[in-house]
Amino acid sequence: MADILERLKEEHQLMLKNLHDLEKVNIITPEGHQKVLSLKDFFMTHLQEEDNDFYPVLKEAAQKDSRLEGILDLFDENMKEISDFAFEFFNKYLKGAIEFEFRQDFQKLYATLKTRILREEEVLHAEFAKIKGKGA
């Protein structure tokens, strides 16, 4: 249980670091393009891990806990919006775009992901730990 939470936290920190690093490169260079591609791959892999290892535990528990079900519904709606924007961002900048637009879009993506990560770790990780603690 602790392993999955620690792994997800480490991935969250790495995602934020990689985003921060992306801000420092010229997006229209091959290096910038490669960083966007790498970040997209990392983001997709991370979401898949959460979908496989993290959320099923929460969703199963939510079947018997309406409070948790409500929390998950809110997080699901929020994640849909974040994922849509993130994939628009990745696809837009993998095709090439204007540096000025990149700065605006980047700031929005960074702030949105950072807020989501903090909320997820504060709320959902705590719920996950409670669920797993009951079974231990």
Average pLDDT, integer, range 105-123: 95
Chain-centroid distance, C-alpha 56? 16
Q: What is the per-residue pLDDT across 52-84, written as a single tens digit (0 to 9) for each?
A: 999 999 999 999 999 999 999 999 999 999 999
**Contact (CB, 8 A) for 50 and 7:** no
Q: What is the pLDDT of the chain when averaged over all its residues? A: 91
User: What is the model's pLDDT at position 135?
Assistant: 43
Give pTM, 2 decimals: 0.86
Could you tell me which of 53, 51, 60, 73 has the C-alpha nearest to residue 123? Answer: 73
How far apart are the C-alpha atoms of 125 and 81, rounded to whole Å? 20
